[in-house]
Amino acid sequence: MKHSYLVRLLFLLLFACAGFTSAHAQTGSISGRVLDEANQGLPGVTVVIEGTSLGNSTSVDGTYSIQNIPAGPHVLIISFVGYNTQRKDITVASGQNTAVVPVVVGENTTLLNEAVVVGYGTQRRQDVTGAVTQIDEKQFVKGQVTNPEQLIQGKVAGVQITTGGGAPGAATTIRIRGGSSLNASNDPLIVIDGVPVDNSSVTGAANALSLINPQDIETYTVLKDASATAIYGSRASNGVILITTKKGVAGEKLTVNVSSQASVARRYNSVPVLSADEFRNTVAQVAPGKVGLLGTANTNWQDEIFRTAYTSDNNVSLTGAVGKLPFRASYGNLEQQGILRTNRLIRNTGSISLNPILFDNTLKVNVNVKGSIIDNNFADNGAIGAALAFDPTQPVRSGAEGYGGYFEYLQSAGGVPQQNVPRNPLPLLELRRDRSTVKRSIGNAQLDYALPFFRDLHANLNLGYDITRSNGSNLVDSTAAAAYFNRPLDPTLTNRQGGSFNRYAQSRDNKLLEAYLNYTKQFGETRLDVLAGYSYQDFVTTSPNRPTYLADGTTVFQAASINPFRTQYTILSYYGRANLSINDRYVITGTLRNDASSRFSPDNRNALFPAVSAAWNIKNESILKDNNTFSDLKLRAGYGITGQQDVVAAAGSDYPYIQRYTLNSLRAQYGFYNPTTGAYEYFTPYSPQGFNRNLKWEQTTTYNAGIDYGFLDGRLSGSLDVYYRKTKDLLAVIPIALLTNYTNQLVSNVGSLENKGIELNLNATPVQGEHWNWSVNANGTYNVNKILSLGPQAPGFPGIYTNNGGTIGGGTGTQIGIYRVGEASSSYYVYKQVYGADGKPLQDVYADLNGDGVVNSNDRYVYKQAAPPVILGFSSNVSYDRLSLAFTLRSQLGNYLYNNVNSQNGNYNGLTGQPTVVNNVTQDANYTGFTTTTQERYSSDYYIQNASFLRMQNVTLGYDAGKIFGNRGNLRLTAAVQNVFLITKYSGLDPEIFNGIDNNVYPRPRTYTIGLNLSL
Amino acid sequence: MKKSSVFRHTLGLGLVAGSLLAATSCTKDLDRTPTYDLNTASVYKDAAGYQAVAAKVYSGFAVTGGQGPDATTGDILGIDQGTSDYLRGLWSAQELTTDEAVIQWGDPGVQDWHNMNWTPSGVLIQGLYSRILYEVTLCNGFLAQATDANLSDRGITGADLTNIQRLRAEVRFLRALSYYHALDLFGNPPFATEADEIGGTTPPKQTSRAELFAYIEKELQEIDADLAAPGQNLYGRADKAAAWTLLARLYLNANVYTGTDRYADCATNAKKVIDSGVYSLMPQYRNLFRANNNTSKEIIFPIVYDGKKTQTYGGTTFLTHAAVSGTANENWNPSLYGIDGGWGGIRTTPRLYQQFPDTAADTRAKFVTGGQTLEVTSQTTFQNGYVPIKFRNITSTGGPGSDLVFVDSDFPMFRLADVYLMYAEAAVRGGGDKNLALTYVNLVRARAFKTPSAGAITANDLTLDFLLSERSRELFWEATRRTDLIRYGRFTTGAYLWSWKGGVAAGVAVPDYRRLFPIPVADLSVNPNLTQNPGY
């Protein structure tokens, strides 16, 4: 991170002040040069005179000069992100320029003086009092990264990032320190270049963040505890992720950077279902009467629906300054195939940032515009489940004309399809066209102005927007058996019936206005940084109402709803922060935010979120100052309250406190027949909705204590944090007294839960030399989640059943999870399977846990949890001269998964259950020998399996070819493999599924990537 | 330079001023209201709004939510949406618990109905209880807005006023109907009227079975004047005859509910329906349950469905699909039912089949027997048990319904044959004219038999046992069986057993407390005024 924009800003800030310090007395100037370990001039390094606001930063060749320094002895502080700060005694002679001998700075891993991005500004790392982790480009996960959040997967303690499978641009779930809520959102707030973005799902894009090009990102900062996040008040309870994109730097020469990579992705394992021959044998043994139904083909359906997928990812950026205008412009093009046939994503992204500094460095302008267009070709994930169950002895193609030429089960030869039988997986993909185009632009203009008469005071105005437009359509071909019955039978149409076609669109228009004043002043050894501001953010989402047609595109199959969709909410906030640093030893930070959200009634709308934290830089105490063992030692402690206002997931609307009447859809009308006229009179009802006029914020109180440490000149450094978070007034959907509202379950503020845990982060540089360098990062998290209260409970109240947003394949009405007091919120609630002497589960035999002689739903018990108590990450980077080898390992321990693939297909019901077809089963059926079992098996703990895993996320080999065009052009070549190996006891395909229910999961492929990066 | 300086100062002041200005405005933007949804004032501003909410009250019996059967959530939460349907829940409680129906599926709690081992935490019991009381809440909400004072304030006059006053009476009937279901199934539910606030936090008081009986009786009597004369309302809207039929049913079971016989009152109300002269038996029994049964003169009060406009995975869609095998073969042709395919769920125990001494003569005795066994060896095997052919999505002339998934057929909540049989039973129990009863029963039987005279019975045949059997033959799968068996003392006792009663293949008696369903534990948890029914 050589051209640190932030350090520049800091410097310019200081310089601006310096420019107005008049030089009454005798002053002199100094000049010198800062070099890196290779004796190359180091640009952008901050050089300041200690105890003053005098300073400058080095130019492109590493030289600097500082004027108007009072004559006499001084200490020069040379600091730069990523390098050890140097202190140098100098003596300034009056009226003269003193040449300072060149200073060589070494790279540093403790980053003590690094500018850390925090809410509304930056802080010196030593002034940070909260639990904050910053990850920059150097540490990002390499290889084919489509979604920005994958860049830091496995890199940050306390952060769990789970992709929703292997589809390009699949939705990702991010959890910071466990979930703080039951039914309200558990997603962190994401702020991109100062714009808090709407990360709720976008119609037509599985993942809203996938619209950001990862290549444009410079740093990620994860704010974890309340003292760091409370400045974001009501959206901070689940942590805050600040994303800073790359910028141009003043004075920098124009650089063109071209990067290009190509990838091949392959499926590396299969769900263990029976092969065609195994299937024939099993049918012959288990259901001899069904042998006649078998075909003669040998089809591996998983091989048929998946493919080798290719990806190209090309990016070009131009960085530098034209005159006084630093800028960066970039363009990226990604074309990524999914391994599931027909699935593809094309993304074009562009970004421009302009960062001029005007009026003698008093006005800093920061304009960012990012735009992207994604074209998605979605595939029907139902094909994955169909491929598991479809008879492997049947062919892909029938040889006949009907149904697109694909084999299907028909009621008679050449007739109509059978119902309630599996569909050939291939036409589910090939006879469907599911496309969307999503455009998103995020931008802002930020003005930071040093007031003319009071230069320590800066006024900052930030105007931002986040606009999304999506359009999509979904066509199921009229020859598809799956949509055959969408039209009443018409005998004149043979093999070509309903199909379906619908179009959809969504617009999101979010705008932001922020204004704050920032006062920074160094009083001798004391440094004060005060901020006070105001924020207004407005979110509008609209969708038109459109009907669903048959595939002909003209016959309405399902009428459009009467009203289009539109929703809007607004958040209005005041906030302030004071950071006081005394002697660089004692730092105190206090923040306060008042948020008002339109989602709550005027009586409950406002809430105050305070936080206070302190840090003690023990390293800077005199006893340790000259100690060479410790290079950093800081204690931190913080307390704060944050909130959660995102009730939409729980309440289903942005207006949960208002008594609303919603117009029914045209599918839910009610009609009265008039015998006289022979016609119906239909009415479209207004449905009164449940509402909670007392609804208010969910509140999370966080206690955090941490220690930042560094040994041996930063060769070993890291941090250790312990935290306790308690959320009260949970926004939970709970049963309410019947007859009191227009619903039986209502989002209410009830109960509480806690998360407590430990996070450890360790950076080490075991080898640091002329040729060999080796750095490692290890991080680990232990988090315990427990529900403390769910409101009043009568005896026998088991808790609130939940599927954590998932669905159970085959088990209508089954809910595998429970919210229960005293248990983790991701707990399973199951029957206890009874096993035979041979260790195999006994069919339909479950333990009578309450001993009442009957096995019924009261005998279910809480068993294991989906969320991992332990999350581990390990990264290593070894380099020898120009060659480097890096890898990232990730692990989760103690998490369990509900193997819905086996609970649905792991029994012989597939062979015997239907008279006219036989379905494939998983290998587990041959192990258990389960025949036709009761539905209770869907709730058996036999299918709750240990899903702990160790995954090598990626390994990257890099070669730095250096300057290939004489003095110019830096070429770097990489080869990477993602998903290198996976070690787990889990018997299904992949143990990493966020909601804990394994069915129809799009496999994560193994991806091989080669890439080049050329700077000119 | 000077110019620039002025500009800078202006800019600086502008920024500060702008920030301060911004900070003091915009608070009114926090009063966001839904763009298309309405609030109480805007809904009830005119007669059309009242009509639309009244339609919601009616549709509460038919559909599971406002946004169609495939929406992510319906009116009732915490339960599979299709299962949360009013009729599907009511039907399950009244039929699956008896000799008339068994079900193949194993959705949590489904087998508990027939095994009679349901629990207060069962999701299906909770769903039915919630649906019934949700319906009462819809009624209460409408009635609170439909007072004469409110109508006058909102300037509603003339024909609009008359119509809303009539709708008000109809909504009171619908509330009485739901409270009747609560009375019959749960006995002692919580109780609230339009006088109680909706959206508050005060939990309602519990009522007793006797109090609720008296309340329903009084309500039905009070609205009599405001309801339309029999047959004078649109089909699907309640009229006086609907209220009289509900009263007849209430009185017929009064001994169960209050310990006091009211057979004479039952007979009186049944006779009022019969004597109104507007109802007549459908000439062919099978057409009562088909896609165009809205033209029937026999149905007194239906739940109205439409394959396109009133869609649900409950209701007659459930009753039709669930009684058809999931796979087509020579015994099962879904197109004979007017549907795309069966769900393979419900059949009957041998008891129902055996109620028909001559299945060839009695047109009601239509069963799929091919490929099925009479005995129900396993409840979870669809091929075990004969399957009655009753609800079908084809018209009386054999044409298909309007949709292959969602069924057009209406459900006859009350129909004339039931009224005839109620009168007959009340008469045999001493509340009416036995000769008239014989006439009525023979009318029902004459319609049922291929040769009308073949079904005729004599006065000696007209016993209580005969009537219970006749009700089963005529009204099976129409959600009255459990109530009938309880009235005859045969629901829980060993006096009458059927396959898998009490979870035992041969059938076994269960404790008497199971004549009432439990108050769901979820409501007990949040409403401290509630006491659990005895035994649970």
Task: Say yes or no to pLDDT of A26 above 90.
Answer: no
Beta-carbon contacts of residue A517 (< 8 Å; ≥ 6 apart): A457, A458, A459, A460, A531, A532, A533, B16, B19
Q: How close, in Å, is residue B429 to chain A by CA atoms? A: 37
Phi/psi at A868 (5° precision): -75, 125
Give the span between the Cα atoms of A83 and A969, in whole angstroms.
Answer: 24
Please count the residues of chain B: 536
> In this complex, do B80 and A653 lie within 8 Å of one another by their Cβ atoms?
no
pLDDT at A12: 37
Residue A990: in which H helix or E strand, if any?
none
**Closest C-alpha among A823, A822, A844, A826 to residue A835:** A844
Specify whether the CB–CB gap between B216 and A758 falls below 8 A: no
* Nearest neighbour of A686 by CB, restricted to B49, B121, B236: B49
CA dist list (Å): B293 to A83, A512, B410, B412: 85, 59, 6, 9
For range B427-433, the mean pLDDT: 95
Dihedral of the alpha carbons of B468, B472, B474, B477, in degrees to the nearest 10: 150
pLDDT tens-digit readout, B244-264: 999 999 999 999 999 999 999
Task: Say yes or no to pLDDT of A99 above 90.
Answer: no
Name the percent of chain A in helix, strand, coil, to the closest 5.
Answer: 10, 50, 40
Task: State chain A's mean pLDDT as an integer.
Answer: 87
Q: Considering only alpha carbons, which residue of chain A is nearest residue B27?
A: A572
For range A816-836, the mean pLDDT: 94
Gyration radius of chain A's alpha carbons: 31
pLDDT tens-digit readout, A306-357: 999 999 999 999 998 887 788 999 999 999 999 999 999 999 999 999 988 8
pLDDT band for position A825 (cuts 50, 70, 90): very high
pLDDT at A128: 86
Residue type, B127: G
* Nearest neighbour of A857 by CB, restricted to B22, B108, B325: B108
Q: Which residues face A328 on adjacent strands?
A: A319, A353
- Supply A620's token pair: 């800077």
pLDDT band for position A108 (cuts 50, 70, 90): low
* Nearest neighbour of B29 by CB, restricted to A538, A745, A858: A538
Task: Say yes or no to pLDDT of B467 above 90.
Answer: yes
> In this complex, do A935 and B78 lie within 8 Å of one another by their Cβ atoms?
no
pLDDT at A226: 86
pLDDT tens-digit readout, A143-174: 778 888 888 888 898 899 988 888 988 888 89
- Supply A687's token pair: 């449905």
Q: How close, in Å, is residue A80 to chain B by CA atoms? A: 31
pLDDT at A61: 74
Give the span between the Cα atoms of A819 and B353, in whole angstroms.
Answer: 45
pLDDT at B15: 57
Q: Does A20 touch chain B (CB under 8 A)?
A: no
Per the listing, tokens 């002909």 go with A552
User: What share of chain A has pLDDT > 90, as a percent?
Assistant: 51
> In this complex, do B108 and A813 lie within 8 Å of one another by their Cβ atoms?
yes
SS3 assignment, position A688: strand
Best mutation target, B185, B378, B526, to test chain A (most A CBs within 10 A): B526
User: Chains A and B: how many Cβ contacts under 8 Å?
Assistant: 373
pLDDT band for position B22 (cuts 50, 70, 90): low
pLDDT at A34: 84
pLDDT at B437: 97
| pTM exceeds 0.90 for this model | no
Residue B177: in which H helix or E strand, if any?
helix B158-186
Task: Say yes or no to pLDDT of A550 above 80.
Answer: yes
For range A919-931, the mean pLDDT: 91
Gyration radius of chain B's alpha carbons: 27
Most confident of the following: A733-737, A804-808, B32-36, B180-184: B180-184
pLDDT at A544: 93
pLDDT at A590: 94
Q: How close, in Å, is residue A659 to chain B by CA atoms? A: 6
pLDDT band for position A111 (cuts 50, 70, 90): very low
pLDDT band for position A8 (cuts 50, 70, 90): very low
Contacts of A489 in chain B (CB under 8 A): 335, 400, 404
Best mutation target, B8, B84, B92, B394, to test chain A (most A CBs within 10 A): B8
Least confident of A18-27, A419-428, A906-915, B72-81: A18-27
pLDDT band for position A233 (cuts 50, 70, 90): confident
Q: Does B22 touch chain A (CB under 8 A)?
A: yes
Q: Considering only alpha carbons, which residue of chain B is nearest residue A681?
A: B234
Q: Could you tell me which residue, A912 or B523, shows the higher pLDDT?
A: B523
For range B287-308, the mean pLDDT: 95
Q: How close, in Å, is residue B434 to chain A by CA atoms? A: 35
Contacts of B36 in chain A (CB under 8 A): 563-566, 663
User: What is the rounded end-to-end Cα distance, in angstroms, of chain A?
Assistant: 17
**Closest C-alpha among A276, A440, A263, A240 to residue A351:** A440
* Nearest neighbour of B521 by CB, restricted to A419, A659, A797: A797
> In this complex, do A673 and B117 lie within 8 Å of one another by their Cβ atoms?
no
pLDDT band for position A540 (cuts 50, 70, 90): very high
> In this complex, do B236 and A740 lie within 8 Å of one another by their Cβ atoms?
no
Specify whether the CB–CB gap between A601 and B30 falls below 8 A: no
Contacts of B30 in chain A (CB under 8 A): 570, 572, 596-598, 602, 605
Helical packing angle, B158-186 and B240-252, nearest 10°: 20
Please tell me what DSSP assigns to residue A201: P
Q: Does A936 touch chain B (CB under 8 A)?
A: yes
* Nearest neighbour of A655 by CB, restricted to B34, B65, B202: B34
Contacts of A801 in chain B (CB under 8 A): 78, 123
pLDDT tens-digit readout, A389-405: 999 999 999 888 888 89
Specify whether the CB–CB gap between B226 and B168 falls below 8 A: yes
Q: Does A260 touch chain B (CB under 8 A)?
A: no
Q: What angle do CA A536, A540, A541 make, to 5 degrees?
A: 155
Report the greatest alpha carbon distance in chain B.
Answer: 120
Give the span between the Cα atoms of B8 and A447, in whole angstroms.
Answer: 12
DSSP string, A129-152: -S-EEEEEGGGS--SS--SGGGGG
pLDDT band for position B12 (cuts 50, 70, 90): low
pLDDT band for position A83 (cuts 50, 70, 90): low
pLDDT at A1016: 82
List B residues 412-431 in contact with A (Cβ-Cβ < 8 A): none
Q: Does B109 touch chain A (CB under 8 A)?
A: yes
> In this complex, do A671 and B12 lie within 8 Å of one another by their Cβ atoms?
no
**Closest C-alpha among A766, A795, A762, A761 to residue A781:** A761
pLDDT tens-digit readout, B262-273: 999 999 999 999
Beta-carbon contacts of residue B189 (< 8 Å; ≥ 6 apart): A738, B129, B132, B133, B179, B182, B183, B206, B207, B212, B519
> In this complex, do B327 and A916 lie within 8 Å of one another by their Cβ atoms?
yes
**Closest C-alpha among A645, A565, A578, A601 to residue A237:** A645
Q: Does B230 touch chain A (CB under 8 A)?
A: no
pLDDT tens-digit readout, A570-584: 999 999 999 999 988
Question: For the range A281-287, what are the long-range contacts, defined as Cβ-Cβ under 8 Å and sequence gap of 24 or more?
Answer: A282/A908, A282/A911, A282/A921, A282/A925, A282/A926, A283/A911, A283/A918, A286/A908, A286/A911, A286/A912, A286/A931, A287/A908, A287/A911, A287/A912, A287/A918
pLDDT band for position B1 (cuts 50, 70, 90): very low
User: What share of chain A has pLDDT > 70, as a percent?
Assistant: 94
- Supply B529's token pair: 């005024």
- Supply A105's token pair: 């700075």
Contacts of A597 in chain B (CB under 8 A): 30
Q: Considering only alpha carbons, which residue of chain A is nearest residue B402?
A: A488
Q: How close, in Å, is residue A67 to chain B by CA atoms? A: 23
pLDDT tens-digit readout, A495-517: 556 788 999 999 999 999 999 99
Q: Could you tell me which residue, B169 or B107, shows the higher pLDDT?
A: B169
Q: Does A40 touch chain B (CB under 8 A)?
A: no
Give the span between the Cα atoms of A874 and A155, in whole angstroms.
Answer: 7
Best mutation target, A455, A674, A744, to test chain B (most B CBs within 10 A): A744
Specify whether the CB–CB gap between A676 and A706 falls below 8 A: no
Dihedral of the alpha carbons of B108, B516, B178, B471, in degrees to the nearest 10: 100
Q: Which residues face A615 on adjacent strands?
A: A587, A636
pLDDT band for position B529 (cuts 50, 70, 90): very high
For range B16-20, the mean pLDDT: 57
pLDDT at A3: 40
Q: What pairing do the DSSP bridges indicate for beta strands A63-70 and A27-35?
A: antiparallel
pLDDT band for position A113 (cuts 50, 70, 90): low
Q: Which residues face A300 on adjacent strands?
A: none
Best mutation target, B16, B36, B279, to test chain A (most A CBs within 10 A): B36
Task: Say yes or no to pLDDT of A79 above 80.
Answer: no
pLDDT at A301: 96
* Nearest neighbour of B4 by CB, restricted to A359, A558, A597: A359
pLDDT at B24: 55
Q: Considering only alpha carbons, which residue of chain B is nearest residue A556?
A: B308
Q: Does A201 touch chain B (CB under 8 A)?
A: no
pLDDT at B354: 96
Contacts of B235 in chain A (CB under 8 A): 672-675
> In this complex, do A674 and B109 lie within 8 Å of one another by their Cβ atoms?
no
> In this complex, do B55 and A815 lie within 8 Å of one another by their Cβ atoms?
no
pLDDT band for position A127 (cuts 50, 70, 90): confident
Task: Say yes or no to pLDDT of B4 above 70.
Answer: no
Task: Say yes or no to pLDDT of B132 above 90.
Answer: yes
pLDDT at B19: 55
List B residues 187-216 in contact with A (Cβ-Cβ < 8 A): 189-192, 196-204
Least confident of A911-915, B22-26, B484-488: B22-26
Task: State chain B's mean pLDDT as an integer.
Answer: 92
* Nearest neighbour of A655 by CB, restricted to B33, B204, B328: B33
Q: How close, in Å, is residue B342 to chain A by CA atoms? A: 7
Q: Could you tell me which residue, A234 or A624, shows the higher pLDDT?
A: A234
> In this complex, do B80 and A935 lie within 8 Å of one another by their Cβ atoms?
no
Q: Considering only alpha carbons, which residue of chain A is nearest residue B335?
A: A489
Q: Considering only alpha carbons, which residue of chain B is nearest residue A933?
A: B380
Q: Does B65 touch chain A (CB under 8 A)?
A: yes
